[in-house]
């Protein structure tokens, strides 16, 4: 599934944090690695410097793979234009399966910054994105078991399952535990003539949703456990985005995987707003997969 991985680089140490995750994933998936940087038109004088930098990172990466004897292909390219647009276009042209990018970072040798670029890429590409938090840099040491615990929030819809197949592959190849999370909200926002109102569910409706969610989680859990994946299910009450963020923080979650948009038939989660809140507020790396539906 993940046969081509793209790493955008801006010359900063924080931008290079994406390499840590790539080096964990590429050998496991036998993936081809594309190291990409962009030279904006008004900064053509930096182009040679950028090329040297990217080639240096590529050489270091190849050496890292050669030592344990891992046959991973590493390609480099310096594009010209607006960073986010060039990265998105390259990913589409080369049929990239995953972009790994850092959520923010201060530019090193390049004049563009990873923060605004990551935001544009996440919101405009159709390629799955693994967004690594710059705060994860910490002391600069590699975190133990990058994919040890994977949180997969689900709302019962097929659209909400967009990330499920990716979690399946990652958990199998990197020996991660999967936690399926369903959050039961007490009501929903609806558009009315007067604007936007919050309508509370009845107790009977909430109990029905709990029962439906329980059955759905059990069925999904069985599909994963049948493939040898360690999996457990959790159901919580409250606000969906807050529930996801709090659970991740309290349970040492290493990756949150979500559909980047989608509307539930079961509990009316709107995954666009939920994933965006988790994206903006959470501190855990997040894998966003856009639903094709």
- For the domain spanning 149-289, the CATH number is 3.40.50.620
Mean pLDDT over 100-107 rounds to: 71
* Biggest distance spanned by C-alpha atoms of the chain: 67
User: pLDDT tier at 221 (50, 70, 90 boundaries)?
Assistant: very high
| Residue intervals in the chain for CATH 3.40.50.620 | 4-137, 149-289
Alpha carbons 270 and 265: distance in angstroms, whole number: 10
User: pLDDT tier at 155 (50, 70, 90 boundaries)?
Assistant: confident
Assign 162 to helix, strand or coil: coil
Tokens of 108: 């090193």
- Has this prediction a pTM greater than 0.85? yes
**Tens digit of each residue's pLDDT (9 = 90 or more) over 163-184:** 999 999 999 999 999 999 999 8
What would the 3-class secondary structure string for 182-236 be?
A: EEECCEEEEEECCEEEEEECCHHHHHHHHHHHHHHHHHHHHHHHCCCCCEEEEEE
Share of the chain above pLDDT 70, in %: 83
- For the domain spanning 4-137, the CATH number is 3.40.50.620
Q: Among candidates 136, 135, 108, 104, which has minimal Cα distance to 118?
A: 104
Q: Who wins on pLDDT, 290 or 181? A: 181
Q: How far apart are the first and last CA of the chain?
A: 19
């Amino acid at each position: 599934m993940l046969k081509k991985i793209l790493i955008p680089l801006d010359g900063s140490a924080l931008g290079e944090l994406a390499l840590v995750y790539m080096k964990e994933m590429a050998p496991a998936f036998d993936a081809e690695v594309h190291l990409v940087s962009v030279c904006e038109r008004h900064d053509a004088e930096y182009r040679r410097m950028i090329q040297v930098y990217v080639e240096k990172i590529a050489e270091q990466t190849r050496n890292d793979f050669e030592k344990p004897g891992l046959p991973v292909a590493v390609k480099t390219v310096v594009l010209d234009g607006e960073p986010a647009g060039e990265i998105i276009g390259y990913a589409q042209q080369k049929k990239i399966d995953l972009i790994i990018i850092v959520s923010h970072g201060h530019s090193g040798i390049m004049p563009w910054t990873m923060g605004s670029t990551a935001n544009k890429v996440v919101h405009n590409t159709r390629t799955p994105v693994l967004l690594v938090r710059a705060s994860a840099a910490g002391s600069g040491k590699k975190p133990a078991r990058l994919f040890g615990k994977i949180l997969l929030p689900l709302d019962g819809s097929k659209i909400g399952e967009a990330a499920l197949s990716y979690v399946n592959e990652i958990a199998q190849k990197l020996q991660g535990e999967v936690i399926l999370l369903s959050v039961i909200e007490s009501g929903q926002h609806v558009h009315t003539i007067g604007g936007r109102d919050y309508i509370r569910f009845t107790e009977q409706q909430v109990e029905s949703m709990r029962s439906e969610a329980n059955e759905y989680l059990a069925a999904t859990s069985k599909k994963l456990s049948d493939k040898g994946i360690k999996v457990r299910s959790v159901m919580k009450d409250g606000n969906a985005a807050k529930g996801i963020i709090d659970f991740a923080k309290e349970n040492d979650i290493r990756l949150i995987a979500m559909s980047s948009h989608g509307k539930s038939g079961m509990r009316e989660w709107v995954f666009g707003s939920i994933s965006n809140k988790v994206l903006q507020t959470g501190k855990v790396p997040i894998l966003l997969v856009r639903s094709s539906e």
